[in-house]
Amino acid sequence: MSKSPPTQEEVARHKQTNVMLSRVAGSLYWMSRYLERAENLARLVDVNLQILLDFGQVSDETLKEHWLPILRSTGDEDLFFELYEVADSESVMEFLTFRSENPNSLSTCLANARENARQVRDQISSEMWEVLNDAYHYVTKATIESLWETGASAFYDQIKTYSHLFQGITVSTFSRSEGFEFIQFGKYLERADKTTRLLDMKYHILLPKVTDVGGAVDAAQWQAVLRSASAVEAYRRFYVADILYPKVVEFLLYEDSFPRSLLFCIQQMQDFARLIAQTPEGDGPSAEQLRFDQFVQNFIHTEVKAILGRGLHQFLEEAQIELGNFGGYLYTTFMYHPPVDMQAEIRFQQQQEQQQQQ
């Protein structure tokens, strides 16, 4: 007995299910990425502010050189100077923390994370929602004036605490389903990207003078890089000696036991991507997966000395491209659902059924 062609209602229901699943996956993924982005930004701004306090009185030109690298690392330098005339501590902190015009500001990231969570509230635990909601309202109630009055470090520490709390609650309350895999993949993709940008910012922009290499300023800045990644204590357990840039680079790139190193993050991305893809038996991994796997293998078998000799900036740019390509592939394949021409889809399904009957 031949199977009758699908009706318009059946095709619509099937497509609606796929669209819904893609949207849920996309919301979970972006919820995780935006929260991780907010945490990393809080780390960066707080540590940069602490460096200025350690140095004492600085000139306007020094302030500009100090804050511009962060604006460049987020890609928002042009937008900043459309809104402000001078890059000093107050203007940059306000722009990076509160300005809604900035798509990468801390408040925008938390608003986007909360909105994505709101769209899938039935998929996440109530505790996860409460933490994100609390973080969002905490930021919306603050102002740049209140930061200076009550202490900026306490404010940014609280943002990091919200992020850590959310991650712990997620691990404790979210079922180990596909949704969990999208959350984790988004987190590690964002974290890997920010680790490369943090290293690139320091290595190529914060040290304009060769004479500074190895000096007190150099050591303080590389320690700040470790602090931005919450890696000072972990680094000291591996390298008891002074903080030296080749060792810092090696630690943040290659230490596979440290959860913010590039190697740790990309290996986690590999694992969760395989779970998401669940390659059918008999089919090999996609070309994009093979390319990323090759990048990881090449990275593992390259010594940090070779990377520094060839150029750290060049390697970090290549790494950012690979991360972007692989993240884009997973998003377009599993999370993005283009608009569907229902009539064309029904005709296609009917043609397929007719061919099977012949």
195-206 pLDDT per residue, tens: 999 898 876 655
What percentage of the chain carries pLDDT values higher than 70? 78
119-173 confidence digits (pLDDT tens): 999 999 999 999 999 999 999 999 999 988 888 899 999 999 999 999 999 999 9
Instruction: Pick 208 or 326 by higher pLDDT.
Output: 326
7-40 confidence digits (pLDDT tens): 444 434 433 434 447 889 999 999 999 999 999 9
- The Cα 126–Cα 130 span in angstroms is 6
Find the range with the poorest average confidence among 208-222, 225-239, 328-342.
208-222
Q: Confidence class of residue 346 from pLDDT cuts 50, 70 and 90?
A: very low
Neighbours of 171 (CB within 10 A): 12
Quick check: 51 and 221 in contact, CB under 8 A? yes
The tokens for 26 are 């996309």
Phi-psi bin for 282: left (phi > 0), alpha (psi -120 to 50), beta? left
H or E, element range at 131: helix 126-140
pLDDT(344) > 80: no
Instruction: Pick 69 or 280 by higher pLDDT.
Output: 69
256-289 confidence digits (pLDDT tens): 999 999 999 999 999 999 999 885 545 667 899 9
Quick check: 327 and 291 in contact, CB under 8 A? no
Instruction: Pick 282 or 311 by higher pLDDT.
Output: 311
- The DSSP secondary-structure symbol of 299 reads H
- The DSSP secondary-structure symbol of 48 reads H
Instruction: Let me know the angle formed at the C-alpha of 135 by 134 and 136, rounded to the nearest 5 degrees.
Output: 90
Q: Confidence class of residue 358 from pLDDT cuts 50, 70 and 90?
A: very low
Residue 185 makes CB contacts below 8 A (sequence gap 6+) with 29, 268, 269, 272, 273, 276, 330
